[in-house]
Structure 1
Amino acid sequence: MNCKVGQPLPNLPRRKFLHTSSLALLGLAGGGIPGISRAVGGDVLHIRNYQDLSSLDPVSFVSSAEGMVMTAIFQNLLQFRSDGSWDTQPDAAEYFEQLDATRYAFRLKPGQMFTNGHGEMTADDVKFSFERVVDPSMHALNLPDMGPFSHVEVHDRYSGVLVLRSPYAAFIPVAVAGPTGVILSRHAVTAGGGRFTTNPPACSGPYRFKSWQAQRKTVLERNPLWPAGKAPFSQIHVYAMTDEKAAEMAFEAGQLDCARISVESTGPFERDMPPGGSIRILPSGRNYWLGMNRENSALADIRIRQAIQYAIDAQAVVEAAWFGLAPVSTGPIPEGMIGHRERSLIPPAGNPQKARQLLTDAGVTLPLRLRLDVNNAALELTAVQVMQWSLKKVGIEVEIRAQDSSTFLTIGREAVNNRWRDVQLFMQSFTGMADPYYSLTWFSSSQLGIWNWERFSNEEFDRLNQRAIETTDPSERSKMYRHMQDLMEASGCYRFITNGVMPQIYRNTIEPAFRADGYAMLRNIRPAAFRSRS
Structure 2
Amino acid sequence: MGYELTRRGFLAGAATAGVTVLGMPWSNVVQAADGRIVVRVEEDLKNLDPANRTGTIEVNVILAVNQGLVKFKPGSTEWENDAAEEIKQVNDTLIEFKLKEGLKFTGGYGDLTAEDVKFSFERFKPAADGTKVDYADDWAALDSVEVTGPLTGRIHLKHPSPAVWLIALADGSGAIISKKAFEALGDKFKTTPIGSGPYMLKEWVPRDHFTLVANPNYLGDKPTFTEIVGKPISDDKTAQIALQAGEIDFGRIDPAVATDIASTSGIKVEKISAIDYVWIGPNIEKKPFDDVRVRQAVRLALDVPAIIAAAYNGSVEPAYALEAPGILGFWADAPKYARDVEAAKKLLDEAGQGSGFSTRLTVLNKAVSQATAAVVQANLAEIGIDVQIDALDPGAYWAYGENDTSKDLELVLVEYHGKFDPGFQTQWFTSDQIGTWNWQRWSNKDFDELHKKGGVESDPKKREQIYIDAQKLMDESAAFWWITHNAYTYAFKDTLQPGILPNGSQMQYAAFKQQA
Tell me if TM exceeds 0.5.
yes
C-alpha distance in 1 between matches for 2:126 and 2:401: 23
Match of 2:202 in 1: 210
> How far apart, CA to CA, are the structure 1 residues paired with 2:502 and 2:401?
29
Partner of 1:397: 386
Give 1:340's aligned amino acid.
Answer: F
The answer as to whether partners of 2:377 and 2:386 remain within 8 angstroms in 1 is yes
Q: Confirm whether residue 47 of structure 1 aligns to residue 34 of structure 2.
A: no
Distance 1:34 1:187, change over 3 A: closer
Unaligned stretches of 5+ in structure 1? 1-32, 530-534
In 2, are the aligned partners of 1:373 and 1:425 still within 8 Å (CA)? yes
Partner of 2:238 in structure 1?
Answer: 246
User: For residue 283 of structure 1, what is the aligned residue in structure 2?
Assistant: 273
SS of residue paired to 1:269: helix
Instruction: Determine if the alignment matches structure 1 residue 359 to structure 2 residue 348.
Output: yes
Matches for 1:395-474 after TM superposition, within 5 Å: 395-413=384-402, 415=403, 419-474=405-460
Residue among 205, 224, 237 paired with 2:216: 224
1:404-437 alpha-carbon deviations (Å, 9 max, x no partner): 1122111243x2xx64222011111111111111
Mapped contact 1:294–1:455 kept (Cα < 8 A): yes
Contact 2:274-2:504 within 8 A present in 1 as well? yes
Partner of 2:306: 316
**Native 8 Å contact 1:309 1:346 kept in 2:** no
The CA distance in 2 between the partners of 1:58 and 1:298, in whole Å, is: 40
Between the aligned partners of 1:41 and 1:319, the Cα distance in structure 2 is 39
Q: Which whole-Å CA distance do the structure 2 matches of 1:127 and 1:411 have between them? A: 32
1:294 — aligned with what?
284
**Deviation of the 1:492 alpha carbon:** 2.2
Percent identity, aligned pairs only, is 30
- Matches of 1:229 and 1:344, distance apart in 2: 45
Q: Which residue of 2 aligns with 1:129?
A: 120
Aligned-partner SS, 1:320: helix
Question: Partners of 2:227 and 2:199 in 1: how far apart?
Answer: 8
In structure 2, the partner of 1:481 is: 467
Letter in 1 for 2:100: K
* C-alpha distance 278-242 of structure 1, shift in aligned 2 (>3 A): same
What is the match of residue 92 of structure 2? 101
Is contact 2:302-2:339 (8 Å) kept? yes
2: CA distance between counterparts of 1:281 and 1:77? 31
The structural deviation recorded for 1:521 is: 1.3
Name the SS of the counterpart of 1:337 in structure 2.
coil
Q: What is the rounded CA distance, in whole Å, between the counterparts of 2:281 and 2:139 in structure 1? A: 25
Cα distance in 2, alignment partners of residues 354 and 213 from structure 1: 53
The one-letter amino acid paired with 2:143 is S
Change (3 A) 1:35 1:170: farther
CA deviation vs aligned residue, 1:453-476 (integer Å, no higher than 9, x gap): 111111100111011111111111
Shifted more, 135-144 versus 476-485: the winner is 135-144
Task: Kindly indicate whether the alpha-carbon contact (under 8 Å) linking 1:306 and 1:355 is maintained by their aligned counterparts in 2.
Answer: yes
- Tell me by how many angstroms 1:140 deviates: 0.8
Q: What residue is the counterpart of 2:327 in the other structure?
A: 337
The Cα shift of 1:332 comes to 2.0
Q: Look up the match of 1:112.
A: 103
- Displacement, 1:269? 2.8
Instruction: Measure, in 1, the Cα distance between the counterparts of 2:324 and 2:203.
Output: 36
Structure 1 position 195, deviation (Å): 6.8
2:244·2:261 contact (CA, 8 Å) conserved in 1? no
Q: Report the Cα distance in structure 2 between the residues aligned to 1:169 and 1:35, rounded to whole angstroms.
A: 48
- Once residues 128 and 212 of structure 1 are traced to their aligned partners in structure 2, the CA distance between those partners, rounded to angstroms, is 26
Q: State the AA in 2 paired with 1:179.
A: G
Greater mean deviation of Cα atoms: 375-384 or 253-262: 375-384
Structure 2 CA distance for partners of 1:369 and 1:35, relative to 1, 3 Å? farther
How much does 1:346 deviate? 4.8
Residues 428 and 438 of structure 2 are in contact (CA less than 8 Å); yes or no, is this contact kept in structure 1?
yes
Who is 1:76 aligned against?
Answer: 68
Deviation at 1:365, TM superposition (A): 5.2
Tell me whether 1:528 sits opposite 2:515 in the alignment: yes
Paired residue type of 2:361: L
**CA-atom RMSD in angstroms:** 1.8
Query: Shift of residue 279 of structure 1?
Result: 1.1
Quick check: 2:405–2:435 contact (8 Å CA) kept in 1? no
CA distance in 2, matches of 1:120, 1:363: 67
Runs of 5+ in structure 2 lacking a partner? 1-24
CA distance in 2 between counterparts of 1:262 and 1:371 reads 27
Give the match for residue 148 of structure 1: 141
> How far apart in 2 are the matches of 1:172 and 1:261?
31
Alignment correspondent of 2:181: 188
Letter in 2 for 1:480: I
Number of the residue aligned with 1:160: 153
One-letter amino acid matched to 1:158: L
Aligned equivalents of 1:117 and 1:208: distance in 2?
13
Given that 2:293 and 2:348 are in contact with CA atoms closer than 8 Å, whether structure 1 keeps it comes out as yes
SS at match of 2:279: strand
Structure 1 CA distance, aligned partners of 2:305 and 2:94?
A: 45
- The 1:453/1:133 distance shift into structure 2, 3 A limit, reads same
CA distance in 2, matches of 1:269, 1:36: 25
| Deviating more after overlay: 303-312 vs 454-463 | 303-312
Q: 2:256 & 2:288 partners in 1: Cα distance?
A: 35
SS of the equivalent of 1:370 reads: strand
**Offset at residue 325 of structure 1 (A):** 2.2
Partner of 2:163: 170
Distance in 2 between the 1:36 and 1:87 partners?
39
Normalised to the residue count of structure 2, the TM-score between the two structures is: 0.91
Once the 2 structures are TM-superposed, how far is the Cα of residue 206 of structure 1 from its aligned partner?
0.7
For residue 484 of structure 1, report the CA deviation from its aligned partner: 0.8
SS of equivalent residue, structure 1 residue 516: coil
Amino acid at match of 1:148: A
- Give the TM-score of the pair, scaled to structure 1: 0.88
- Pairs aligned (count): 489
Secondary structure of 1:197's aligned partner: helix
Shift of 1:41: 4.1
The Cα of 1:343 is off from its aligned counterpart by: 3.7
Partner residue, 1:26:
none
Q: 1:180 to 1:466 in 2, by over 3 A?
A: same
What are the Cα deviations for residues 264-284 of structure 1, in whole angstroms up to 9, with x where unaligned?
Answer: 1223334x2x21111111111
